[in-house]
Structure 1
Amino acid sequence: MIFIAPLLPFVGASILWFFVPDICQIGWINGVGQLLLFTLVVCIPAWRTGRLSYVDIGWPLGLALIGLVTLSFAQGVSWRRMIIGMAYLFMGLRMGVGALRMWHAGHFKKEFPRYQYQRLRWERKGITNTQLMIQVEALVQGFANISFLAFPAFVIATNRSEQVHPLEILGLLLWLAAFVMESVADAQKLAFLREMKRQNQTRKVCNVGLWRYSRHPNYFAEWMVWNALIVAAIPAWLDHQGRSPLVTWVLLGIGTLYVSRIMYTTLVHYTGAKPAEYFSAQKRPDYQAYQQSTNMFFPGPSRVDQPRPQGKST
């Protein structure tokens, strides 16, 4: 049962597509495509190498696939289908192309720290069959793309209303702001790491720019990207009322809102902040002080003055 339980919520949410007439067809197409993609890109390589890191290729390419399915097969207003489809395509290719470059450079020859941390979790639970758990985790990611993570795209794309709702504008603006924040945070950290490498100070804590207000501003911004999609999906969900049974319509709304919880759990507990901090605290002497002075996820003012690294930091 311990191997099956993680899959159940995602499989259950995938079944919901069969009861939403406007989404059933694209749900089927996306489901088959995601299973094929994850089998070839994640499950087989992970089985051969014993490394779960291939999820970092399969998951974002799966988002791009959701975008392609939305653009090609969704039956809704064309401009709305175009915007949400391109948003998913952009998010997926941005991360997926970066992961493929890392694979080509040989970085996938070693398990990424966040997946090393997952093995520590399995050890604490007494799980010894890591090969099987790797396949389970890969399937969980695949079914997440089949189910919950596709909810905002498919709900928005099948909205039949020609009118633009204020929440759609708000969602788009939030999405753009969150993407800019994530890009700025990534750029600031990359510049910091390059400068510290130039100074031969590779174990310093990045506490410049946005990183002074959150220990993981990039993860927070990524979470807000998904919250923005949920906000934009609310009018579309309301538009679905009456076109599906009441229970199905309610579950569709719950599933869309639940995306926020899934991404928060992933970005904080599963493969995000906590695994990163586990290793940072071991190799960076100042990291514990940074943890005491700076919020982990939600941005906020520093609780004490933080020591800044010597030399130029940007």
Structure 2
Amino acid sequence: MATVRRAAPFVIYVALFAALAFQPDLRRFVVVNLAIQLGLFVVGACLPAYRTGFMSYVDVAWPWGLAALGVQILVFGDPGSPAVLATAGIYLLMGLRMGVWAMRFMVLTRLPVELPRYRYQRRRWERDGFRNEKVSLQVEIMVQCGANVSVLAIPAALVVADTSGSLGPVGIAAIVLWALSWGFETTADRQKARFVKLGRRDGSHLTCDVGLWQFSRHPNYFGQWMQWNCLIALSLSWLTHRWPEGHLASGLLTAFGLAWISWTMYHTLIYYTGAVPAEHFSLRKRPDYRTYQRTTNRFFPGPRRAGQPDLFNRAPRDRAVSDSP
């Protein structure tokens, strides 16, 4: 059963890639993207992981793969199309935001230890009976490579092939909501970074529950998930424009792929590399984290439940973080 679960994403990736490649006007883009993503992941993640035993290098390859999709949109698409420019900008901003941080933290300063979320993966491999860690490292890295090759490339492929170039009311609304979601994620990360910095200064190890972190235990993950949902909404008009032109099976698989972006990113941000692994270690390091779990939603922002602290009488250190931009 564990082997089937491990193989399932690759089966879906192959089906989605085939659905895109079967459509003549998408074929060149998806084949070139396949070559680029394989090169990025082999050089940026597979080889470093083989040499060091750290899976964390996939955090370099994956976002730079998104940025590469943005560049390909500009190369293959109509440079005068508002839809092309908007979609390329979204991929570039999402990829570069994470990619620059990963390069600075894991390459330029040399990653000292495996990131916690990938240490947690070892527990899963042990539970599922996968004993060969070198093989597991490469398989897990290629799971993320396969996403960039297939499902996460669908909006990029659709906008490159779209001939209308228009955004329409839904597209404009999707871009505005994406910008708000990007700002939401960025603000959450900045609040957390300032909280951690001030905590190191005064020697405390408290849970960050200020600013956006009052309403969700992972507001940055929620903001990232919403960005992908906005990209899906932006892509719907391009899918409907081309629906009569394509084969029914390819069209249905492409539509399924767009919907699956939302599910797979939600699953990733909660269970795979997101909330669940992070909270496993937070419970060990921070004595107040269990209370935080009881009073604060895990993912979707919302009001605190019974037992919440008085946010107006927090220490000055916490108020400073909460008031940060």
CA deviations 1:34-83 (Å, max 9, x no partner) are 01111111111111111100000000000011111111013696221122
Residue 259 of structure 1: CA displacement? Answer: 0.2
More divergent stretch after superposition (300-309 vs 236-245): 300-309
Residue 20 of structure 1: CA displacement? Answer: 1.6
More divergent stretch after superposition (23-32 vs 102-111): 102-111
Q: Is the 8 A contact 2:212 2:219 kept in 1?
A: yes
Within a 5 Å distance, the mapping from 1:264-283 to structure 2 comes to 264-283=266-285
More divergent stretch after superposition (271-280 vs 146-155): 146-155
Q: Is the 8 A contact 1:155 1:236 kept in 2?
A: yes
> Who is 1:71 aligned against?
74
More divergent stretch after superposition (162-171 vs 128-137): 162-171
From the superposition, tell whether residues 115 and 162 of structure 1 become closer, same or farther in structure 2 (CA, over 3 Å).
closer
Counterpart AA for 2:287: P
Within a 5 Å distance, the mapping from 1:93-132 to structure 2 comes to 93-132=96-135
> Who is 1:260 aligned against?
262
SS of equivalent residue, structure 1 residue 214: coil
Q: Where in structure 2 are there 5+ consecutive unaligned residues?
A: none
From the superposition, tell whether residues 281 and 95 of structure 1 become closer, same or farther in structure 2 (CA, over 3 Å).
same
> Who is 1:220 aligned against?
222
SS of equivalent residue, structure 1 residue 109: coil
SS of equivalent residue, structure 2 residue 111: helix
Counterpart AA for 1:118: Q
- Equivalenced residue count is 313
> Who is 1:135 aligned against?
138
Q: Is the 8 A contact 2:68 2:92 kept in 1?
A: yes
> Who is 1:246 aligned against?
248
Q: Is the 8 A contact 1:77 1:160 kept in 2?
A: no
> Who is 1:12 aligned against?
15
> Who is 2:54 aligned against?
51
SS of equivalent residue, structure 2 residue 245: coil
Q: Is the 8 A contact 1:43 1:138 kept in 2?
A: yes
More divergent stretch after superposition (217-226 vs 245-254): 245-254
Q: What is the percentage of aligned positions where both structures have the same residue? A: 42
Query: What is the TM-score when the length of structure 1 is the normalising length?
Result: 0.95
From the superposition, tell whether residues 199 and 306 of structure 1 become closer, same or farther in structure 2 (CA, over 3 Å).
farther
Residue 139 of structure 1: CA displacement? Answer: 0.8
CA distance in structure 2 between the partners assigned to 1:180 and 1:164 by the alignment: 22
Counterpart AA for 2:236: I
Residue 137 of structure 1: CA displacement? Answer: 0.7
CA deviations 1:79-137 (Å, max 9, x no partner) are 21122112111211111111000024535231100000111111111211111011001
Q: Is the 8 A contact 2:295 2:306 kept in 1?
A: yes
Q: Is the 8 A contact 1:76 1:159 kept in 2?
A: no
- The one of 42, 45, 64 equivalent to 1:42 is 45
Residue 185 of structure 1: CA displacement? Answer: 0.6
From the superposition, tell whether residues 76 and 195 of structure 1 become closer, same or farther in structure 2 (CA, over 3 Å).
closer
SS of equivalent residue, structure 2 residue 217: coil
The question of 1:84 aligning with 2:83 is answered no
> Who is 2:158 aligned against?
155
Counterpart AA for 2:301: P
- The one of 156, 164, 167 equivalent to 2:167 is 164
More divergent stretch after superposition (163-172 vs 258-267): 163-172
CA distance in structure 2 between the partners assigned to 1:178 and 1:55 by the alignment: 24
Residue 234 of structure 1: CA displacement? Answer: 0.7
CA deviations 1:141-160 (Å, max 9, x no partner) are 11110000111122133222
Q: Where in structure 1 are there 5+ consecutive unaligned residues?
A: none
Within a 5 Å distance, the mapping from 1:169-188 to structure 2 comes to 169-188=172-191
SS of equivalent residue, structure 1 residue 207: coil
SS of equivalent residue, structure 1 residue 242: helix
Q: Is the 8 A contact 2:33 2:69 kept in 1?
A: yes
Q: Is the 8 A contact 1:230 1:257 kept in 2?
A: yes
